[in-house]
Structure 1
Amino acid sequence: SPADEAKLYLGRRLVVLAAFDILGFSSIVEAEEENALAAWRALRQAIDPLLAGAGGRIFKSLGDGLLVEFSSPVDATRAALAVQAAVAQLPAVRAIRFQLRCAIHMGEVAVEGTDLMGDGVNIVCRLQEHAPPGGVLVSTAVMDLISGRIDAPIEDFGELRLRNISRPVHAYGVGAGKRPLSTPPVDSFLRRRPSIAVLPFADQTAEGGSSYFSDGLVESIISALSCLPELIVISRTSMLRYRGQIADSTQVRRDLGVRYMLTGTVQRDGPKVRVSAELADCENGATIWSDRFQGEGHGLFELQDELSARVIATITPQVQEAELRRVLRKRPESMDAYEYMLRGLDLLYRFDGDQFAEARPLLQRAMELDPAYATAHALAANWHAIRINQGLSPEPDLDYKEAERLSRRALTMDRFDPHALSLAGHVRSILFRDFDQAIELFDRAIAANPSSAIAWLRSSATFSYIGETREARRRADIGLRLSPYDVHVFYSYAIRALASYAAGDYADTVQWARRSNALNPRFTANLRFLAASLAATGQAEEAGRAAGLLLHVNPDFSVRRFAEGHAFKDPVVRTRFAEQLIQAGLPK
């Protein structure tokens, strides 16, 4: 009945899917069914524990294959490699030896009881048809998240045309065994796809005042484009430096290394809004496409969607309308909530006591105007985390509780908002040391928006904390590539400094930490890494100055108390950090 069907439908979620298939199973069964089924049962006895041990859930057995759900792309890939290795070592059963093909993809699915359905399932099943016997084939969505974390050779298969799937899927083969030392890890993110910069749209309204709408329009376009794995999209905050300037495609290409540039104008006349947009090829300066749009009153968000759809259709014609609807990020229901969020965000990272305090009521007002605004809740949670780590909190226990409450609420409001996922992941990591859940949230953020600079950067910090420093550096570098001129780029530099510090590269830490400090000398987290690394490299005088700056911002700082609660997972690293801070002149 419809009522029973409604109970079975449990919504949608983002998952990692693995498809396993036996090569030539049908012909083997046709020739000797009893022996084939006995061999299949023996194979299942060998591989099912490997899948379960990695957190895999078999949600469908197809007779000649399996569909398995995982929460982590790294766990899924390691499990698949373990399965292939186990199958290769299995003795023949009644003279039958099977070979498996496997594909892994990360995508959104519909949940029907214990079953998973939808586009993500279709893609992984079709992708598996291209996997080599005994091999593992992963989509770009998975490769972005396992690159540098899987110790296996990688082969770029390029774009594959899948049966009954309209758009091509870029795939990579992942094999068992050690990667040769002469072969650098494949970084699918930096090797792939054209790039685009969406510059601030010029406000041509006679009395001005359309900047918030034009900012929202540009953010909508960037959000839609960023979710497409075909493109690398530079973040909105890095584009603010071009506001009020006449766009020069040659300069933009030189600054950002992009191929495409989108510019436009916004003009408001009462309730009416007129928008013009132009897409240019930065390599030759040619205009690829231009158009004009008009909307009014309640139709402003629809106007944003229409423009986003036109741009995407021009750059990536294989993207269907349904795909566009999926990738458009959830917005606030009112522009007022969006404005309060932007004003709060502007004050949040200044780290000046009074201005920092003003950010919280602004974010509170955004949440009151739109109680389902995930980003506002996530930023408020981050405010409490910053308050603790900057040494500004009079009652840390209360701030811990608020950060926990707000971050969890943000996740319930929008499970696919990369900004909310990234900030919630950061809170789980830095405050609660829940690194596994944090990485899961970061992976979801990157899968939802592969060009989310904040997801790559905040996840870098977590990988530094757990000691995976090569991956930490890789993620920080990708984040900086996506947002080189962010208004809060000092924070990005500090995250890159953290990655180098965790790796024991103190000279590199000093370089990045100096760059961060030059832009914001009140950021205590950066000052700690700067002071420690200067002490470690024998630059005692400058280390003392950095320690003095830190004590000026946080007079009650105590090395022992701080180090005991730091997010570094390895106690040896925490001890070394404390010793270097004391060596820099900070009080025990």
Structure 2
Amino acid sequence: RVGINVGDIIIDESDIFGDGVNVAARLEALAQPGGICVSRMVRDQVRDKLDLVFEDMGEQQVKNIARPVRAYRVLTEAGVRIVATPAPGRRRRVLRRVIAAGAAALVLLAIGAAAFWRLHSPSLAPTAAGAPAAPPALPDKPSIAVLPFANLSGDPAQDYLADGLTDNLVDALAQNPGLFVIARDATLDYRGKVVAPRAAAKDLGVRYVLEGRVQKSGDRIRVTAQVIDAVNDNPVLSQKYDRNLTDLFALEDDLSLQIAGALDAQLRGGTIARALAHGTRNLEAWESLVKATQTYFRFNPADASEAQKLAQRAADLDPNYVAAWQFLAFTYFDEADLGWAQDRIAALKHARQLDDKVLKLDPESAGPYWLRARLELQPDLPEYDPEAALADARKSVELGPNDDPGHWTLGLVHFQLGHFDEAAAEFANTLRLNPHPYIWESGLHAVALSATGHYKEAIAEIEGASAAQPKNPLGLGFHGRIEAFAGKYAKAAGWFERARDVDPASSQNALFLAEVYDQLGRVDEAIKVLESGPPQWRSVPRVRLWLGLSYALGGRKENAAAEFAAFRALAPRWTLSTTKRFWARYYTPQFSDRIAALSREYGIPDK
């Protein structure tokens, strides 16, 4: 909160006194969390000089001031909203003293409160990979971003309430086909930072921004929320709720519906109601799932295991909690995909069982379809079927047009099938929904650009995406694949070598390196790379396939036969039709034809 007044002050060494100071302090108390409140004299001084809008709060009787004070709330962009708990301690006390000083306060407002806040706040520079250099164009339907709600409870242990409320509102709004909703991940950069709604809207390419604050006291919760139209910087919705904590879900229902109504979005087929039904009315289950997601995305095996326990507890507390079962299914798939699972096949099968459960609970949910598509791309599962994966990924996008994992999965399926133009388009849709993407999202888009002949654009994108993390092995690997698709295999090998050196346990980095080594005729080195891996690599189908090809290229027929036999046992449904288009674009025509012929020779069918 900020209170600004103009008045005489008394300075005594390091302290200041006087009615002017007292009025500023009382105005601060009148300000909304994250807002600015000014006196009448301040309003009169600047009203014709600055493009500001003031809301008259009327005469306010305040403590230790003889006469009522006329107070005004600043509503324009200069009234920057704080979307995180203010920094505690000395900096806050110093800030309060500076703002209380009359002359300094007037100068502060004249130069713009936004500039002042930025001088006293952490940098707002994007931290996620690949933020676009130019702001995206506005969609042709109402578009909104939900900024992270601020926890004003003064207790970091209550952060999960603010995070959970933010996530639930994003999920509910995203189910409405009449809205364009920015992905939750894209707004994480703003957590704990000061941001003007207009700046956030411009950065994310939306017209509306929802910001809010949460304060918990005992079994009571206060939520304030405001939707800002960034085009004219006016609020279109402002709500304040004081409820029992047990009424949190009814509060979410009310707010979601009010937002959609305020944006004139058509509520077709009860989409928001269905989204809210994915939730639970069991507060303990909800808290457990929110904590599970916070724990999981620290991205390490130990926290992933703890997150699974929390998610399982949420599902046990409410067996109809769709979101809990869906998140649990995702964690089992992801631990297999990342190589964390002790038993890859068991983890994938369990993910499939949980995914089936989600579909039975809610057949209209988008999430289980994109996860099913990912499972259908695993060659060591009986359900392996790339064409079915394509259909399920399309179904996911149809049901959840604002769900960026659905678009990304559809792009991934197209990519693996060699449909590079379609892949690039879907990855671009992902980046539009998440303008601050993870490096794997922007990286695969860059690789798809290279595969479609847009090499310069691909290099520019991956350089931007990996600038903040130059040694990230994913970024190094994407750089290598971009070079390989451009036919620059020696340069690709250099990038893959760097990726392997940073993360030697990754079978993916080793595979990428072995593939280009073979293309370059460095067959013995390719074999050495794959033979030197840990035992768990032997359960990865592509490792067995490529080691078999490397042995065959090197004339070691017995070794090749053994590896191809192991591969066919792991992936009995895999055929050349799945990968021929990919190979034909990734390698030279001569090399692509040769490895296809060797695959047939060792028992891999065309269809």
Q: Fold-level match, TM-score > 0.5?
A: yes
How far did 1:350 drift? Answer: 5.2
Deviations 1:332-368 (Å, cap 9, x if unpaired)?
Answer: 3434434443444445455544444444334333333
- Counterpart of 2:226 (choices 255, 269, 278) is 278
Give the letter for the 2:430 counterpart.
G
* Change over 3 Å in CA distance of 1:357–1:294 after alignment to 2: closer
Q: How does 1:416-427 map to 2 (within 5 A)?
A: 416-427=364-375
Aligned to 2:445: 496
Do the aligned partners of 1:375 and 1:420 also contact (CA within 8 Å) in 2?
no
Question: Would you say 1:295 and 2:304 are equivalent positions?
Answer: no
Alpha-carbon offset, residue 251 of structure 1: 1.2
Distance 2:220 2:257 in 1: 20
Q: Is the alpha carbon distance of 1:436 and 1:248 closer, same or farther for their aligned partners in structure 2, counting shifts above 3 Å?
A: same
The answer for unaligned runs of 5 or more in structure 2 is: 1-136, 508-532, 547-566, 592-607
Q: Cα deviation per residue 1:126-177 (whole Å; 9 max; x = unaligned)? A: xxxxxxxxxxxxxxxxxxxxxxxxxxxxxxxxxxxxxxxxxxxxxxxxxxxx
* Deviation readout 1:47-76 (Å, 9 max, x if unpaired): xxxxxxxxxxxxxxxxxxxxxxxxxxxxxx
Per-residue CA distance 1:363-383 (angstroms, 9 max, x = gap): 333333333333333333333
CA contact (8 A) 2:146 2:166 kept: yes
Q: Which residue of 2 aligns with 1:30?
A: none
Residue by residue over 1:107-134, the C-alpha shift from the partner in whole angstroms, topping out at 9 and shown as x without a partner, is xxxxxxxxxxxxxxxxxxxxxxxxxxxx
Residue 231 (1) aligns with residue 240 (2): no
Q: Deviations over 1:250-297 (max 9, x none)?
A: 211231121111122222232222222222111121222312223214
- CA distance in 1 between partners of 2:362 and 2:175 (Å): 15
Letter in 1 for 2:499: A
Structure 1, 334-343 or 235-244: larger mean CA deviation: 334-343
Contact 1:250 1:282 in 2 (8 A): yes
- The equivalent of 1:474 in structure 2 is 425
- Residue in structure 2 matched with residue 541 of structure 1 by the alignment: 494
**Number of aligned positions between the proteins:** 392
- 1:454 and 1:197 map into 2 onto residues whose CA distance is 17
Alignment of 1:215-226 (within 5 A): 215-226=163-174
- Contact conserved, 2:138 with 2:207, CA < 8 A, in 1? no
Cα–Cα, structure 1 residues 574 and 346, in superposed 2: closer, same or farther, change >3 Å? farther
Q: Does structure 1 conserve the Cα–Cα contact (< 8 Å) formed by 2:249 and 2:281?
A: no
In the TM superposition, what whole-angstrom CA distance separates every residue of 1:179-218 from its partner, at most 9, and x where no partner exists?
Answer: xxxxxxxxxx985213111112222225464432333322
Letter in 2 for 1:389: D
- Structure number having the greater strand percentage: 1
- Specify the SS of the correspondent of 2:350: helix
1:241 aligns with 2:189: yes
Greater Cα offset, 552-561 or 475-484: 552-561
Distance 1:367-1:281 versus aligned 2 partners, 3 A rule: same
Distance 2:499 2:154 in 1: 49
CA shift for structure 1 position 315: 0.8
TM superposition shift of 1:553: 3.7
Shift in CA distance, 552/438, structure 1 to aligned 2, threshold 3 Å? closer
1:522-561 correspondence to structure 2 within 5 Å: 528-535=477-484, 536-537=487-488, 538-539=490-491, 540-554=493-507, 555-556=533-534, 557=537, 560-561=543-544
Q: CA separation in 1, counterparts of 2:281 and 2:474?
A: 35
Distance 1:550 1:479 in 2: 27
Kept after mapping to 2: 8 A contact 1:280/1:286: yes
Question: Which residue of 2 is the match for residue 262 of structure 1?
Answer: 210
Distance 2:303 2:322 in 1: 23
Matches within 5 A, 1:116-515: 192-207=140-155, 209-316=157-264, 318-319=266-267, 322=270, 324-328=272-276, 330-346=278-294, 348=296, 351-430=299-378, 432-485=383-436, 489-497=438-446, 499-500=448-449, 503=452
Q: Per the alignment, in what secondary structure is the counterpart of residue 237 of structure 2? A: strand
The answer as to whether partners of 1:352 and 1:522 remain within 8 angstroms in 2 is: no
CA contact (8 A) 2:143 2:207 kept: yes
Whole-angstrom distance in 1 between the partners of 2:294 and 2:156: 21
- In 2 relative to 1, CA 336–241 (structure 1 residues): closer, same or farther, beyond 3 Å? farther
Cα distance between partner residues in 2 of 1:399 and 1:483: 29
Q: Note the C-alpha offset of 1:521.
A: 8.6
Read off the aligned partner of 2:578 and give its amino acid letter. Answer: K
Q: Quick check: 2:416–2:582 contact (8 Å CA) kept in 1?
A: no
Give the root-mean-square deviation of aligned CA atoms.
3.8
Q: Give, in angstroms, the shift of residue 305 of structure 1.
A: 0.5
CA–CA distance in structure 2, aligned partners of residues 244 and 549 of structure 1: 31
Give the C-alpha shift of residue 246 in structure 1. 3.7
Any residues of structure 2 matched to 1:82-93 within 5 Å, and which?
A: none
Residue 131 of structure 1 corresponds to none
Q: Which moved more, 1:239-248 or 1:257-266?
A: 239-248
Cα distance change on mapping 1:327 and 1:282 into 2, 3 Å: same
SS state at 1:280 partner: strand
Moved more, 563-572 or 453-462: 563-572
Deviation at 1:404, TM superposition (A): 2.2
1:270 & 1:220 partners in 2: Cα distance?
Answer: 22
Q: Which residue type is aligned with residue 579 of structure 2?
A: D
Residues 547/367 of structure 1: CA separation in 2 closer, same or farther (3 Å cut)? same
Could you tell me how far apart the structure 2 residues matched to 1:503 and 1:287 are? 44
Cα contact 2:139–2:206 (8 A) shared by 1: no
Cross-structure match for 1:80: none
How far apart, in 1, do the equivalents of 2:293 and 2:274 lie? 26
Q: 1:503 to 1:363 in 2, by over 3 A?
A: farther
Contact 1:279-1:289 within 8 A present in 2 as well: yes
SS at match of 2:206: coil
Q: Which letter maps to 1:573? A: F
CA–CA separation in structure 1 for the residues paired with 2:356 and 2:423: 25
CA distance in 2, matches of 1:375, 1:190: 30
Q: 2:253 and 2:176 mapped to 1: Cα distance?
A: 15
- Which residue of 2 is the match for residue 95 of structure 1? none
The code of the aligned residue for 1:490 comes to I
2:142–2:265 CA contact under 8 A, matched in 1:
no
Contact 1:469 1:502 in 2 (8 A): yes
CA distance in 1, matches of 2:249, 2:198: 32
Note if contact 1:390-1:523 (Cα within 8 Å) is conserved in structure 2.
no
1:569 Cα deviation (Å)?
A: 1.9
Deviation by residue 1:85-120 (Cα, 9 ceiling, x = unmatched): xxxxxxxxxxxxxxxxxxxxxxxxxxxxxxxxxxxx
Amino acid at match of 2:242: Q
Sort the Cα spacing of 1:571 and 1:234 in 2 relative to 1 into closer, same or farther, 3 A.
same
SS at match of 2:336: helix
Distance 1:551 1:308 in 2: 47
CA distance 1:333–1:522, shift in 2 (3 Å) = farther
d(CA) in 1 for partners of 2:145, 2:234: 15
Question: Secondary structure of 1:403's match?
Answer: helix
> Structure 2: which amino acid aligns with 1:549?
V
The answer to whether the 8 A contact 1:271-1:296 is kept is yes
- Cα 1:366–1:291, aligned 2, differ >3 Å: closer, same or farther? closer
AA at the equivalent of 2:580: P
SS at match of 1:429: coil
